[in-house]
């Protein structure tokens, strides 16, 4: 279904070398290279369509084990860093809205819908999606242009695929409409479900 496009911005979250196989937080699902290729294609299409592209880069303190400014792993992935963008912002918290000028930028450009791509699904994408809703914005998440690592700790273990797919289901039930890169490139609408429908379907 083709729908009228809203006033949209593409938010490219933390596509940094820390998430490569050589980094400390390698993305395991979906495949990192595929996800980055999809993000690059969306950035190119956004530039052609006049959709604002906001690139977000995470900064950590010099004593941190990850994302230390000036290090190779902190740098934007070359597929992203070398592409056209409208705005670059640096953040120190999981949400792209926290401590940044993102909300002011979106309001100044009359944006009412944010499409989120990047990393990690269970951290910065999640926090940014929830904050977008708090700020009155419609949120969309692109399932094959985001990704997660596997996790294990004292509370249990979950594969990257389990984490990613579970969160796509959670997003789509209430927080953000979920779709694919192909759907976005084709201009198709992301039709969000809701909690009642999603709960009934799971019984």
Domain ranges of the chain: 8-202
Cα 17 to the chain's mean position, in Å?
15
Count the alpha carbons within 13 Å of 123 in the hemisphere toward its beta carbon. 18
Could you read off the pLDDT of 86-122 as tens digits, one per residue?
Answer: 999 999 999 999 999 999 999 999 999 999 999 999 9
Neighbours of 96 (CB within 10 A): 28
| 8-202 CATH pick, 1.10.3720.10, 3.40.50.850, 3.30.70.1520, 3.40.190.10 | 3.40.50.850
What does the longest C-alpha to C-alpha distance in the chain come to? 50
161 pLDDT higher than 60: yes
Q: Any idea which residue has 């940044």 for tokens?
A: 100
4 pLDDT higher than 90: no
Query: Exposure of 166 by Cβ count < 10 A (0-12 exposed, 13-18 middle, 19+ buried)?
Result: middle
13-17, 24-28, 163-167, 185-189: which has the minimum mean pLDDT? 185-189
Q: Any idea which residue has 């990850």 for tokens?
A: 66
Strand order in the sheet with 8-13: 87-91, 52-58, 8-13, 113-119, 138-147, 177-179
- pLDDT score, position 2: 39
């Amino acid at each position: 279904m083709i729908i009228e496009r809203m006033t949209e911005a593409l938010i490219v979250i933390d596509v940094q070398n820390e998430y490569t196989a050589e980094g400390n937080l390698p993305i395991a699902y979906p495949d990192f290279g595929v996800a980055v290729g999809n993000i690059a294609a969306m950035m190119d299409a956004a530039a052609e369509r006049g959709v604002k592209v906001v690139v977000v880069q995470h900064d950590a303190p010099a004593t941190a084990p990850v994302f230390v400014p000036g290090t190779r792993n902190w740098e934007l992935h070359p597929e992203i860093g070398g592409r056209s963008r409208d705005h670059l912002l640096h953040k120190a918290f999981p949400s792209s809205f926290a401590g940044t000028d993102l909300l002011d930028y979106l309001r100044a450009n009359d944006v009412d819908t944010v499409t989120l791509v990047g990393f990690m699904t269970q951290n910065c994408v999640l926090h940014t999606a929830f904050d977008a809703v708090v700020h009155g914005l419609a949120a969309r998440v692109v399932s094959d242009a985001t990704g997660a690592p596997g996790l294990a700790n004292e509370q249990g273990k979950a594969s990257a695929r389990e984490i990613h797919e579970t969160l796509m289901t959670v997003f789509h039930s209430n927080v953000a409409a979920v779709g694919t890169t192909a759907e976005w490139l084709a201009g198709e609408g992301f039709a969000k479900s809701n909690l009642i429908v999603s709960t009934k379907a799971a019984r």
